[in-house]
């Protein structure tokens, strides 16, 4: 990430910076190899490795038709920001949502901390 100014937020990533990161991370059809290798936390890396039959980062088993990132919420006291990630399937007629979490600490490279797939059905 190139010279992001976080002085106004006390060395914390802003909601706008997190939104941009998540848009870049997920792209149109899911994270690429670089994002999967360098854009996730060690905890999430372990979670991905423990679930080889399921794409933890997309909460799915297939590639979506498209992806949208919702508004970002930041909890400064908890040091975490999150947004709803909407994936669209079957040409965009089916939608699934999950939550992506990012560490706000700007002294570290921005990374996806965790993903909550929620409960289906």
Q: How far, in Å, CA of 120 to CA of 57, rounded?
A: 16
DSSP 4-66: ---GGGTSB--HHHHHHHHHHHHTTTS--HHHHHHSB-HHHHHHHHT-TTSBTTTTBSS--SE
Q: What is the pLDDT of residue 92?
A: 74
Q: What is the pLDDT of residue 4?
A: 41
Domain 15-116, CATH class in plain words: alpha beta
| Residue 12 confidence (pLDDT) above 60 | yes
Mean pLDDT of 2-25: 77
Is the pLDDT at 7 greater than 50? The verdict is: no
Q: How far is CA 104 from CA 17, 49, 77, in A?
A: 10, 24, 10
pLDDT tens for 66-116 read: 999 999 999 988 999 999 999 999 877 899 999 999 999 988 899 999 999
Q: What is the pLDDT of residue 119?
A: 56
Average pLDDT over residues 31-38: 95
Q: Can you tell me the distance from the alpha carbon of 77 to that of 26, in angstroms, rounded to the nearest whole number?
A: 26
pLDDT band at 56 (very low <50, low <70, confident <90, very high): very high
Percent over 70 (pLDDT), the chain:
89
Burial of 25 (0-12, 13-18, 19+ CB in 10 A): buried
pLDDT of residue 20: 97
61 in Cβ contact with 43 (< 8 Å): no
């Amino acid at each position: 990430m190139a010279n992001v100014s976080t002085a106004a937020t006390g060395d914390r990533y802003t909601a706008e910076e997190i939104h941009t990161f998540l848009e870049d991370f997920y792209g149109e059809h899911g994270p690429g190899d670089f994002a999967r290798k360098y854009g996730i936390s060690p905890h999430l890396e372990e979670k991905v490795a423990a679930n080889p039959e399921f794409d933890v980062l997309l909460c799915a088993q297939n590639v979506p038709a498209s992806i949208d990132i919702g508004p970002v919420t930041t909890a400064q006291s908890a040091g975490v920001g999150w947004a709803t990630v909407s994936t669209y399937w079957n040409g965009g007629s089916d939608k699934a949502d999950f939550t992506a979490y990012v560490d706000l600490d700007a002294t570290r490279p921005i990374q996806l901390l965790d993903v909550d797939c929620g409960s289906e059905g």
